[in-house]
Amino acid sequence: MNWFMGLDSSTQSLSAVVINPAKAVVVDERSINFGVDLPQYHSPQGFLEHQDPLTRHADPRLWVAALDLLFERMKGDGLDLSRIRGISGSGQQHGTVYLNAKFLAGQEWRGDAGLAAMLEPMLSRPTAPIWMDSSTSAECREITQAAGGAEQVRTRTGSHATERFSGPQIRKFYKENLDAYSQTAVVHLVSSFMCSLLAGKSAPIDVGDGAGMNLLSLASRGWDPTMLDATAPGLHSRLPAVGPSYTVVGPLWDYFSERYGFRRGLSVVAWSGDNPCSLIGVGGWRPGVAVVSLGTSDTYFASMEKPTVDPDGYGHVFGNPAGGFMSLICFKNGALAREQVRNQCQMTWAEFDRACLAAPAGNHGNMMLPYFIPEITPLVLNAQPVYKGSDAFVNGQDQGAVVRAVVEAQALTLRLHSGWIEKRPSVLRVTGGGSASTGICQVLADVFNARVERLDVGKSAALGAAMRAAHAAGNLSWEELTAKFSCPAPGMDVVPQPRDVATYETVAADFAAFMKQHVG
């Protein structure tokens, strides 16, 4: 029976999920925590400390050392890696790795001392800017102007010029260190870089992750000459080719077979970004199904048949590994805001849930803008919650109303800022810690007038990568894989209540006016 492996190189860990589609089971699931397991890289949270709080870089050697350690532990635990027939992966989006000509020279690929030692002389830049970096505002403005304005950038690439995206990061490197940029032979994303290590050669960038760079044309699904010229000279020659997400890059590099017991010749499938892989892992790859991840930040993403772009510039369009496109919108005030309210009310999570369910739809007109930290959707730099309603609510004495207000505000914000997407969903698949709350799920069902399916999918990006490997290397259909690995928890669906759905049609307009008054 064939097994397939998915890897996820995220901010703080490298995770693996091994699946057996024939039996519809997860064979193995584990992670390497960068701070705990590899302290010698001085990255307790997955990135290097920097005096500038806007600068967030990571050490690429950490990621490849984690790959060696992960496989070493799998082998040591007796996992039969020879049964794996395909490997793919997921990488934290937008991060860039800068490599010199040695990376492209086959004779340099010798892993006798481990991957980290092999990699070090291949780096033209010792650190990699990651998605947490916000130091490129000037470069975003320069790219936008050179490309013909914000609307042109959004139409071409699916996103406005964004600080964490790869294009602005590359431009900053070119401006600040021209010598090192000149020595750079190839710029990889985290995903294509890690895929290259598995294949033992430079891998393509897949459309799903490439769309998060401000460099890829949504129309042609290739590099956009206008965006390349606006970013840095000679950039086209420094980028890998763009390929479909199902591309089989080649056989596994012999290093892994000889060292860990993988089957020789197993297929390495192009890696993608963590969000596109999560779309697959939670079964949201089909139109009509949207996914809400209720984590530290709240994220809304969904499949799209056509690359409709957000005219306000908050949403993003990436490639869908199953074909077509996907939308993504991120809200920083997610679990952090809910936890702030829970702490203020001195409630347990069970009490928080009961309070949410006890309050009526519309919350008697009590509303909150829950900006406890700076927000990106919409843009709010000066974090300060705003309240509107009864004196007891505004003063925090009506705790039930405060709880309901934060939940309604987040659900209505999700709806208002996803209105640019071509289709409203009939199903919401909800995952993350907040999905355990029936109150939150009921509000989402009523605000969106959609059935809420709760998922118990761990490591969705790594699982999605394993499913992508099974699809490309095992010729298994998305429908079959989704039915086996991404089914909603039985008996946990939440359905909209028609009376409350009607209430929220009115409340949504009132909330939009309230938000516009204070945010613009």
Give per-residue pLDDT as tens, 334-371.
Answer: 998 999 999 999 999 999 999 999 999 999 999 999 99
Q: Nearest-CA neighbor of 447 among 361, 345, 374, 369?
A: 361
Classify the C-alpha dihedral 414-416-420-423 as positive or negative: positive
Would you state the pLDDT for residue 450?
97
Q: Which residues pair with 13 in a beta bridge?
A: 33
Answer yes or no: CATH 3.30.420.40 is held by domain 3-276: yes
pLDDT of residue 489: 86
Tally of residues, the chain: 520
The per-residue pLDDT for 106 is 75
Q: How far apart are CA 12 and CA 116, in angstroms?
A: 17
pLDDT of residue 520: 67
What secondary structure, in 3-state letters, does 58-97 show? ECHHHHHHHHHHHHHHHHHCCCCHHHEEEEEEEECCCCEE
Contacts of 193 (CB under 8 A, 6+ apart): 60, 63, 91, 97, 99
Question: What CATH code would you report for 283-456+490-520?
Answer: 3.30.420.40
Whether this model's pTM surpasses 0.85: yes
Hey, what long-range contacts does 108-113 have (CB within 8 A, 24 or more apart)? 109/200, 109/201, 109/253, 109/255, 111/255, 111/259
- 270 with 249: CB under 8 angstroms? yes
Sign of the torsion angle spanned by Cα atoms 405, 410, 415, 416: positive
d(CA 465, CA 270): 9
The single-letter code of the amino acid at 23 is K
Q: Where are the beta strands (DSSP E) in 178-275?
A: 186-189, 205-206, 242-243, 248-251, 267-269, 272-273
Chunked in runs of 10, what are the mean pLDDT values of the chain (520 residues)?
Answer: 94 96 96 96 93 93 98 98 98 97 87 93 97 93 98 96 96 98 98 97 96 96 98 98 97 97 97 95 92 90 90 93 94 92 96 97 97 89 93 96 98 95 88 92 98 88 96 97 92 96 97 92
Residue limits of CATH 3.30.420.40 in the chain: 3-276, 283-456+490-520
Tell me the pLDDT tens digit for each residue of 479-510.
Answer: 999 999 998 989 999 999 999 999 999 999 99
To 10 degrees, the CA torsion angle through 413, 486, 165, 140?
-30
Q: Which long-range contacts (CB under 8 A, 24 or more apart) does 337-341 make?
A: 337/370, 337/371, 337/372, 337/373, 337/406, 337/410, 338/406, 338/407, 338/410, 338/434, 340/370, 340/372, 341/370, 341/402, 341/403, 341/406
